[in-house]
Structure 1
Amino acid sequence: MKKLKKLFICVLALSLVLGLTACGNKTPQGNNGKKTIKIAYLPITHSVPLFVESENSKSNKDQFKNVNIELVKFGTWPELMDALNTGKVDGASVLIQLAMKAKEQGIDLKAVALGHRDGTNIIVSKDINSAADLKGKTIAIPQKFSTMNILLYQALKNAGISYSDVKTVELQPAEMPSALAEKRVSGYIVAEPFASKSVVNGKGKILQTSADIWKNSICCGLILRNDFIKNNREAAQQFVDGYVKAGKEAETKNDKIQKIASKYMNVDKDVLDLSLKYTSYTDLKIEKNDYNVLIKYLTTMNLLKDPPKYNDFVETSLINKAEK
C-alpha cells in the first residue's frame, strides 16, 4: 500500500512538471506567443525609422500582431557588430560597409533596406572654404569602412587633391564636435546629429553635403541575420512592413517625430531640427546600381578585396512586399 502511495505521488509530481513545461511552450519568451525581434542601434539621426517603428509597435497592437520589437542600444560600431555577428541580436541599423565586411568573412547577413537617404555632411572650421583647403589638414572619420570615408575620398578627388594629402583619424562621433572646437582637427564627416552640433554651436560650418558629392550614396542599412529571416519569415515581413511605414512617418519630421527622436537621442532641439533637415527617410530600397557604385568605391580604395555581390547580400523580397 505504501509503495502504491509513493508511486501515485511520483506520477502526480511528474504530471505537474510536464503540465508546467507545456504551458511554457505556449508562450515563448513570455510575450503571449509573439516573436521578439532584437535590433541593435546607435543613438543617431540615421536610425530614426527604427525609433518610430518601436514606438508604433507599443501603441498599434493590430499592426504588430505577431512581433515585439526590442531595440538594443550600443555605444560603438564594433560593439554593435560583435552582437550582430554572434547572434545576440537579430538585426541592426549599421554602417552597411561593416555588414558587407562581415559577410565577406562568412557571417550570413542580409541587407533588407536603407537606414536613410543623405544626412552626412563634411563639417569644417570656419577658415576652410573649399575641399582643396583641406590639403595637409587632419580630418576625423568614424570608421575606415564607412560611407563617410568614401565621401571624403571623392570630395578630395573632385577638388584635385589626393586622399593621401590629408591626415585621417578615427574618432568616436560624439567626440568630433569638441575636437573641431579645440582645433585638434580641421574638419570631420560623420552621421547626424554630430555634424549639426558644430554648426549650431558656431564652431563649424557645412562644406559639402553627401548629396553634393555622391548622389544616392548608401550609408546605413537595416541588416538582418539570414537565419532569423529563414526561421521567422512572417515576423521578418511584419517588421519590414512596419519599418517602411515608419520611414514615411519619419519623413514628416513633425512634432511627434521630434519627440520620438529625442526619446532615443540626447540632443538639443535646434540640433535635431538641422539634422533632420538634411536627412531623408523615404525610398529606402537598396537599388542594384547604387550598390554597385559602392562596391566600386570599396575596391578602388582597397577597403574590401571581395565585396559581396548584390544578389548574395541584398534581400529585396521583404521591402518589395512592404511597399505594395
Structure 2
Amino acid sequence: MKFKKFIAAALVFGLIAGTAACGKSAADVKAVKIAYLPITHALPVFVENELTDKAGQKYKIDLVKYGSWPELMDALNTGHVDGASVLIELAMKAKEQGVGVKAVALGHKDGNVVVVSKNINNVTDLKGKKFAIPHRQSSHNILLGQMLKNAGLSYKDVNIVELPPPEMPAALAQGQIAGYSVAEPFGAKSVALNTGKVLFESNELWKDSICCSLVLSDKFISSNKALAKNVVSGYSEAGEYIGSHKDEANTIAKKYLKLDDKVLDLSMKWISYNDLKITREAYDSLTSKIKEFGISSNPPAYDDFVDSSLLEK
C-alpha cells in the first residue's frame, strides 16, 4: 500500500514539474500578433512565420487573418494586434488621426498591375466606365490617378468603385467593371482565366512605388525594442529567402493563399521582396503623390512615421 502511495505521489509530482517546465518554455517564446489579408503582398510574414517555427527562435509570429482592410485596421487601431501587413496609406491615415503606429519595412516591391477587360485597348477606352480599386486610401488609387493623368484624363472621367479584392476578377468577367487595380494575386487571376489583360504594370506608371508595408504599434516597439528588432530582421530575411528559395517560397504561398500554379507564377513574376527598407526618397515620392491625387493633404513626415532603425544591423 505504501509503495502504491509512493508511485502515485511521484506521478503527481512529475506531472506538476512537467507542467511547470512546459510553462517556462512557453513563456520564453514571445508571440507577436500580426494581422494580414490573404494576398501575395503579405508573403514575407507567411515565410517568417514558417522560418521562425523551424528555427526555434525566442519569438513566434501569431498570424491573425482578416477579410477586409477596415476590419484589419480596426484591430490595429484598437491594439488587438501588435502589427500588420497593410496598405501603407491606411496606416498613414491612422497616424494622421493620432493612432500610434510606425512603418518598419516595405511589404514588397512592384507587384501591382492595371487589369482591364479584353475590349479595352488604351486608357481612353476607360472613359465613362467603371474602374475598381480596393480603397481610396491605396497605392492602387494613385496608380489609377497617374494612369489617367498620363492620358490627359482625370478621376472625373471614370466611375470609380471600391470593391473587396476577391470580388474583382468575377466583376470583370461578368462585365460589371471595365478594369481594376489591386494587390496580387487578384490581377493574375483574371489574366490566368483569360477574362482580362494587363494594361500596365506598376513600375510603368510609378517607379519605386510603395504599396504595402509592415507596421508595428508604438506600444509594442517601446515595450519590446529588442523583440521588435528581431521581428523586423526576421521579416527582412524572409524577403531575401523568397528571392533565393523560390520553390520553397511558392510552397508557402500556396499553403496560405490556396493558389494554383498558373496564378501564383504570374503573380510572382510581377513582384519582388528583396531589400525591404523604406527609403526617404521613395516615401517622399509617395507623400507627394498622396497630395497630388487628393488622398490626403497632410500625410505624416518620414521621421514621424517610418522607423528604419529596426532594420539596422
Match of 1:75 in 2: 67
* Helix, strand or coil at the partner of 1:168: strand
Q: Which amino acid aligns with 1:99?
A: A
Is 1:50 the counterpart of 2:45? The answer is yes
C-alpha displacement of 1:33: 2.0
SS in structure 2 opposite 1:195? helix
Q: What is the identity, as a one-letter code, of the residue corresponding to 2:81?
A: V
Residue 172 of structure 1 aligns with which residue?
Answer: 164
- Look up the SS of the partner of 1:140 in the other structure: strand
Hey, what does 1:181 align to over in structure 2?
Answer: 173
| Matched ranges for 1:170-249 at <5 A | 170-249=162-241
Describe the SS at the equivalent of 2:63. Answer: strand
Within 2, Cα distance between the matches of 1:238 and 1:215?
A: 30
Q: Which residue of 2 aligns with 1:104?
A: 96
Write the deviation string for residues 113-171 of structure 1: whole angstroms up to 9, x where unpaired: 00000110000011111112211111000000000000000011001111210010000
Q: Does structure 1 residue 161 correspond to structure 2 residue 153?
A: yes
CA contact (8 A) 1:100 1:307 kept: yes
- The superposition leaves residues 224-282 of structure 1 with CA deviations (integer Å, 9 ceiling, x where unpaired) of 00110111011111111111110011123622111100111021110001000101101
Match of 2:5 in 1: none
Counterpart amino acid of 1:75?
G
**Aligned counterpart, 2:259:** 267
1:31-46 map, 5 Å: 31-46=26-41
Aligned partner of 2:298 among 306, 312, 320: 306
Q: Deviations over 1:35-57 (max 9, x none)?
A: 21000001100011111110001
Unaligned runs of 5+ in 1: 1-19
Choose which of 130, 133, 136 in structure 2 pairs with 1:141.
133
Cα distance in 2 for partners of 1:162, 1:254 equals 39
Q: How much has 1:196 moved relative to structure 2?
A: 0.3
Counterpart Cα distance in 2 of 1:164 and 1:105: 28
Q: Number of paired residues? A: 295
What TM-score, normalized to structure 2?
Answer: 0.91
Alpha-carbon shift at residue 300 of structure 1 (Å): 2.0
Between stretches 165-174 and 285-294, larger displacement belongs to 285-294
- Tell me, in whole angstroms, the C-alpha distance in 1 between the residues paired with 2:26 and 2:124: 57
Q: CA deviation at 1:302?
A: 2.3
Residue 305 of structure 1: how far off its partner (Å): 2.7
C-alpha separation in 1, matches of 2:121 and 2:244: 33
CA RMSD of aligned residues (A): 1.6
**1:148 & 1:154 partners in 2: Cα distance?**
10
Matches of 1:222 and 1:90, distance apart in 2: 11
Instruction: Give me the whole-angstrom Cα distance separating, in 1, the residues matched to 2:203 and 2:118.
Output: 21
**C-alpha separation in 2, matches of 1:235 and 1:49:** 17
Relative to structure 2, which stretch is displaced further, 300-309 or 155-164?
Answer: 300-309
Classify the secondary structure of the residue corresponding to 2:28.
coil
- Alpha-carbon distance, 1:215 to partner: 0.4
Are the equivalent residues in 2 in contact too, given 1:111–1:224 (CA < 8 A)? yes
Are residues 1:256 and 2:248 paired? yes
Query: What is the DSSP-based 3-state SS (H/G/I as helix, E as strand, rest coil) of the residue aligned with 1:215?
Result: coil
Equivalent position SS for 2:294:
coil
The answer on 1:291 being equivalent to 2:291 is no
Extract unaligned runs of 5+ from structure 2: 1-16
TM-score (norm 1): 0.88
Secondary structure of 1:244's match?
helix
Whole-Å separation in 2 of the counterparts to 1:261 and 1:252: 15
Match of 1:8 in 2: none
Is the Cα contact below 8 Å between 1:97 and 1:145 reproduced in 2?
yes
Paired residues of 1:253 and 1:276 also in contact (CA < 8 A):
no
- For the residues of structure 1 that align with 2:197 and 2:273, how far apart are their CA atoms? 24
